[in-house]
Amino acid sequence: MNAQRSVTVIGAGIVGLCCARALQRRGRRITVIDPGEPGRGASYGNAGILSTGSVLPEGKPGLWKKVPRMLLDPLGPLTIRPAYLPRLTPWMLRFLRNSTAARVERISAALSSIVLPGLTHYRELLDDIAEGRNPIRQQGCLYLYPKPADVEAARPDNEARLRRGVALELLGPEEVKQLVPALGVPAAGGALATASGHTTSPLRLSTLLAETIAADGGRFLREKALGFEFGDDGPSQVRTDQGRHGVEDLVIAAGAFSRPLAAALGHDIPLDTERGYHVMLPRSGLDIRLPMLISSLGFGVTPMEDGLRLAGTVEFGGTEAPPNYRRADAILTHARRLFPDLAVDGAEKWMGHRPSMPDSLPVIAQSPRFPSAHFAFGHGHLGLSLAAVTGRIIADLADGETPPIDATPFRVDRF
Ligand SMILES: Cc1cc2nc3c(=O)[nH]c(=O)nc-3n(C[C@H](O)[C@H](O)[C@H](O)COP(=O)(O)OP(=O)(O)OC[C@H]3O[C@@H](n4cnc5c(N)ncnc54)[C@H](O)[C@@H]3O)c2cc1C
């Protein structure tokens, strides 16, 4: 019976698009509502890494000690805009509560269950796309440790990764040099997550999904969802800035902007945003073949179709404040120390909003209030990696089937 119900997906980021495509492949009629072009939110500017190594939450024991420095250094890898602190405090307190050793262990188990099969779910979702059009590659992802202290700092994380089943090879300076000959300074070491992938164009991945959905009869409405009208069984209409549309099944996937929509359905979710930046270098002059993450500096380096992308850092500042592109400049400064031959002409800067939950776990759930409503947001640093597996879980939940992964840790009412 569910298979006959149409689905309205709010948000055409990578998460909404993967949910829409997964449901369409099961025979559902799809409407996607977004005021912008598909894939132009956070999904546009990310580092493009389909990470299999990200099995640990952002919050770690002892992190609270670093908060004062975050407030004082606006160009550090992690910073808080002082004016935003009062609004952020409840989220930050939850974040710190989720950073104890016991919580980290539980969160890591839940993260592993969706992170490790992330790429497999993309393969399934895109298996009807011609090979040449698919912008996903699987060449691994290198954790790069510029200094000996970085190797030491990464040791517990790498031990945890290995315990969780991440395919990881620990590398010495020579092996790193062989993998990344463009490095201008000798690195102290590295770790290669061999099963990780990357996309050569996050935008093309979203566009490909959107075009496929449209070609198979999906409808895209360039409108902003504002709220809902309710019938006997739950939301019966979505109200937008341009009118009203009847809805049967519903998926809220509006990334960092999902909170008011979830609230309109009666769920108060502690969703905030970690703003991130990128610098796109169309003519970097470097031959870099695989993506890498430099955790100590808070950014990644990814070879893409349009050039080399440097992306990352975290800034707590909400959804309204204008970008501070000096943060993108700071990424560039760090990158030039690692790669002295980096050419920066034509550089483009960008800022986007990661949708972040204080326990580093996304919401992938059916509403306990209205079974026709589903939530798929809050993927933080991992929305690209987790979009396809999210689509699979949402499609199962909407169809009344048991997902292959226990979705309990991702409940909407866990707070
Ligand atoms: C610098 C940076 C680097 C990153 N690197 C990686 C990485 O390497 N790997 C990884 O896995 N993840 C990475 N991420 C995280 C990843 O980009 C996000 O988690 C992911 O893009 C979230 O996707 P989404 O679809 O939930 O949100 P978005 O892409 O933001 O899409 C949400 C959509 O909802 C729409 N919307 C908002 N409000 C409404 C409304 N009221 N009505 C209708 N539509 C609405 C928006 O217009 C938007 O199109 C990175 C993020 C940043 C910022």
Q: State residue 40's pLDDT score.
A: 98
Mutate to test the pocket of ligand 1, among 17, 31, 32, 34 (most ligand atoms within 8 A of CB): 34
Ligand 1 centroid, distance to 373 Cα (angstroms): 20
Q: State residue 384's pLDDT score.
A: 98
Quick: pLDDT tens for 350-405.
999 999 999 999 999 999 999 999 999 999 999 999 999 999 999 999 999 999 99
E-only strand ranges, 135-181: 136-137, 141-145, 168-171
Q: State residue 163's pLDDT score.
A: 97
Q: Are 137 and 199 in contact (CB under 8 A)?
A: yes
Ligand 1 centroid, distance to 383 Cα (angstroms): 7
Ligand 1 centroid, distance to 352 Cα (angstroms): 8
Quick: pLDDT tens for 248-263.
999 999 999 999 999 9
The mean per-residue pLDDT over the stretch 337-355 comes to: 97
Q: Are 413 and 146 in contact (CB under 8 A)?
A: no
Q: What CATH number does residue 118 fall under?
A: 3.50.50.60
Euclidean distance between CA atoms 229 and 322, whole angstroms: 33
Q: Which helix (H) or strand (E) holds 203?
A: helix 202-215
The answer on pLDDT for 140 being more than 70 is yes
Q: State residue 73's pLDDT score.
A: 80
Any atom of ligand 1 within 6 Å of the Cβ of 225: yes
Q: Which residue has the tokens 């024991």?
A: 61
Q: Is residue 36 part of a domain?
A: yes
Atom of ligand 1 nearest to the CA of 379: 19
Ligand 1 centroid, distance to 308 Cα (angstroms): 20
Any atom of ligand 1 within 6 Å of the Cβ of 257: yes
Euclidean distance between CA atoms 276 and 248, whole angstroms: 35
Average pLDDT, the chain: 96
Mutate to test the pocket of ligand 1, among 54, 297, 379 (most ligand atoms within 8 A of CB): 379
Q: Are 392 and 124 in contact (CB under 8 A)?
A: yes
The mean per-residue pLDDT over the stretch 259-279 comes to: 98
Q: Largest Cα–Cα distance of the chain, in whole Å? A: 66
Q: Is residue 143 part of a domain?
A: yes
The answer on pLDDT for 183 being more than 70 is yes
Q: Is residue 415 part of a domain?
A: no
Q: Are 310 and 278 in contact (CB under 8 A)?
A: yes
Quick: pLDDT tens for 159-174.
999 999 999 999 999 9
The answer on pLDDT for 222 being more than 90 is yes
From 314, 326, 275, 310, select the one nearest 144 (Cα to Cα): 310
Atom of ligand 1 nearest to the CA of 353: 53
Quick: pLDDT tens for 281-294.
999 999 999 999 99
**Domain boundaries, position 328:** 2-410
Mutate to test the pocket of ligand 1, among 381, 389, 390, 394 (most ligand atoms within 8 A of CB): 381
Sheet holding 7-10, edge to edge: 219-221, 30-33, 7-10, 249-252, 373-377, 363-366
Single pTM value for the model? 0.98
- What are the structure tokens assigned to 317, written together? 């500042």
Q: Which residues contact 201 (CB under 8 A, 6 or more apart)?
A: 48, 135, 304, 305, 306
Q: Is residue 87 part of a domain?
A: yes
Q: State residue 76's pLDDT score.
A: 83
Ligand 1 centroid, distance to 214 Cα (angstroms): 20
DSSP annotation string for 173-198: HHHHHHH-TT-SS--SEEEEETT-EE
Q: Is residue 342 part of a domain?
A: yes
Atom of ligand 1 nearest to the CA of 253: 26
- What are the structure tokens assigned to 244, written together? 């009203």
Q: Is residue 102 part of a domain?
A: yes
Atom of ligand 1 nearest to the CA of 198: 8
Number of independent structural domains in the chain: 1
Sheet holding 49-50, edge to edge: 49-50, 197-199, 136-137
Any atom of ligand 1 within 6 Å of the Cβ of 202: no
**Which pLDDT band, with edges at 50, 70 and 90, does 71 fall under?**
confident
Q: State residue 69's pLDDT score.
A: 76
Any atom of ligand 1 within 6 Å of the Cβ of 46: yes
Q: Is residue 247 part of a domain?
A: yes
